[in-house]
Structure 1
Amino acid sequence: MELNMKDYFKVVRRRWWLIAAIVALACGATATYDYYFPNAIYEANSKLIVTNSGQNSMTARPDMNEINSNIMLIETYKEIIATPAIMEKVVQQYPDIRMDAAKLSESVRVESSKGSQVMSISIQDPSLDQAVMIVNAVAEVFKQEVPQIMSVNNITILSEAKKSDHSHPVSYGMLMKSLIAFGLSLFLALGLVFLLEFLDDSIKTEEDVELYLGLPTLANVTRIRKARVQKNTEGSKKKRVGESIHVGIHR
């Protein structure tokens, strides 16, 4: 059976209460959970630059070959940061992190822009203090360990993470979460409604009789409201009483 746009609207109108109930329940549950269990997430980041070993950037002329070499090294450094050689050192030197090397490696994210010598180390955590401490610790330990691992000293910390720079959480607020819940629940509710309509093989209209049974419609019994039936019944009683009075007087 092919449905046109009017049929879709009829399906939605017939089960609008189910759609409204699902959407209201989802939005209400989301808002309640966010109110009683707020889970703000903070992100802190520190930036490192890969420079030429021993180069004074204020006086030396830039060597494009060395710059390109440093840019190529960044991909290697991004892999080194996440290895146990760095993470275990971080955990040992900063016991306040309260996180093992494997978990720390999963939490830290290292990014770099194409063609840039700058790397960004970032981490997200429910505690702003913890996020700032971890990202600065990783940057400092990585800077210390690179000369031993790569036999070069070309890492400089451009900027350390500061609480004042990351005071706003990066997680979604209640309004955004409610909007997301509204969109997802509406999508799921519509899907459920059309699924129920597809599984429902009962005959509701005269069009269904012709479509499913292939028979012509000979009569149509419409639904009458209870109030209208009562009104017609009372009117009939009054009419019969009036007729009886009229007949009595005539006699």
Structure 2
Amino acid sequence: MRPEEYALIVLRRWWLVLLAALVAGGVAFLYSNAQPLSYQVSTRLMAVAQPPDYWMDLYAKNRLASYKNMIDNGDFVAAALKQAGLTVDPGQAMGMLSLGDDHDGNVIKIVVTDTDPDRAAAVANALASGFVARSAADNQQIVADYPQADGQKRGTVEIVKLETASAPQTPIGPRVKLNTAAAALLGLAFGVLLTFAAAYLDDTLRSEEDIDRYLALPTIIEVPRA
């Protein structure tokens, strides 16, 4: 088929394309508007080699993945929330939590997303402070269990909290306009597919070219439209 024939198929059923786009966009708009506002906060932890040393710094970088696994742990989350005096369910808090890292900067990023901005900030700070305290306790135990023979301080990795998370004022979601536009575009594409499907199933012969193409018969007479 020629490009103009494809265009004609779509134009012949333009209402179907428009209807699909409107329905998809409308559903997405209503669904997005029904969702509660969500807020996101973050705080960062840095793994610092003590005393500063190339090999200890390299060790700290290699420990970032392990630190993230330790934070994303139900027992740790429950203990950190309890220590901070929060009544948030640990399972709910873990569902709000996501973690990232900057390997070059030895930084772990704690991100909490929630419908309550104050609660999100409180959970993020509780987890950050809890991990700082846990790391300090672990370092004390390491120094006590493995003293240096020459009396020097054993190298450790200190976790430092870089900032305190504060409750955000602006929600990050739901993204009503973006969701509506994306759904409308998908509906538009689906509508175009429907027009081609309808054209494929339609066996009506609409022109002399159709008769020649599908039946390979000559046209004897053509009755003009009234």
Tell me the TM-score normalised to structure 1 length.
0.75
Question: In structure 1, what is the Cα distance between the partners aligned to 2:71 and 2:19?
Answer: 50
Q: What residue in structure 2 maps to residue 238 of structure 1?
A: none
Question: In structure 2, what is the Cα distance between the partners aligned to 1:105 and 1:34?
Answer: 24
The residue correspondences of 1:120-159 to structure 2 (distance < 5 A) are 120-148=109-137, 151=142, 154-159=158-163
Cα distance change, pair 66–215 in 1 and its aligned pair in 2 (3 A) = same
Q: What residue in structure 2 maps to residue 217 of structure 1?
A: 219
Q: What residue in structure 1 maps to residue 49 of structure 2?
A: 52
Answer with 1 or 2: which has the greater Rg: 1
Question: In structure 1, what is the Cα distance between the partners aligned to 2:190 and 2:80?
Answer: 45
Question: In structure 1, what is the Cα distance between the partners aligned to 2:201 and 2:126?
Answer: 59
Question: In structure 2, what is the Cα distance between the partners aligned to 1:48 and 1:111?
Answer: 11
4+ residue segments displaced more than 6 Å: none
Give 1:4's match in structure 2, choosing from 2, 5, 10.
2
Deviation at residue 161 of structure 1 after TM alignment: 0.7
Does residue 1:39 correspond to 2:26, yes or no?
no
Question: In structure 1, what is the Cα distance between the partners aligned to 2:225 and 2:87?
Answer: 71
Higher relative contact order, chain-length normalized (CA < 8 Å, sep 6+): 2
The residue matched to 1:52 in structure 2 has which SS?
Answer: strand
Q: Which one-letter code corresponds to 1:198 in the other structure?
A: Y
Does residue 1:105 correspond to 2:94, yes or no?
yes
Question: In structure 1, what is the Cα distance between the partners aligned to 2:85 and 2:16?
Answer: 53
Q: What residue in structure 1 maps to residue 183 of structure 2?
A: 181
Question: In structure 1, what is the Cα distance between the partners aligned to 2:58 and 2:157?
Answer: 16
Question: In structure 2, what is the Cα distance between the partners aligned to 1:135 and 1:222?
Answer: 77
Question: In structure 2, what is the Cα distance between the partners aligned to 1:122 and 1:97?
Answer: 19
Could you tell me which runs of 5 or more consecutive residues in structure 1 were left unpaired when the two chains were aligned.
56-61, 225-251
Aligned residues: 211
Higher helix share: 1
Give 1:206's match in structure 2, choosing from 205, 208, 215.
208
Q: Which one-letter code corresponds to 1:162 in the other structure?
A: S
Question: In structure 2, what is the Cα distance between the partners aligned to 1:182 and 1:93?
Answer: 48
Identity %: 23
The residue correspondences of 1:61-80 to structure 2 (distance < 5 A) are 62-80=52-70
Deviation at residue 121 of structure 1 after TM alignment: 0.4
CA contact (8 A) 1:86 1:145 kept: no
Deviation at residue 153 of structure 1 after TM alignment: 6.0
Deviation at residue 38 of structure 1 after TM alignment: 4.5
Q: What residue in structure 1 maps to residue 19 of structure 2?
A: 21
Q: What residue in structure 2 maps to residue 232 of structure 1?
A: none
Deviation at residue 9 of structure 1 after TM alignment: 0.4
CA contact (8 A) 2:81 2:126 kept: no
Question: In structure 1, what is the Cα distance between the partners aligned to 2:205 and 2:84?
Answer: 72
Could you tell me which runs of 5 or more consecutive residues in structure 2 were left unpaired when the two chains were aligned.
143-155
Question: In structure 1, what is the Cα distance between the partners aligned to 2:29 and 2:62?
Answer: 47
- In angstroms, what is the RMSD of aligned CA positions? 2.2
Deviation at residue 28 of structure 1 after TM alignment: 2.9
CA contact (8 A) 2:24 2:184 kept: yes
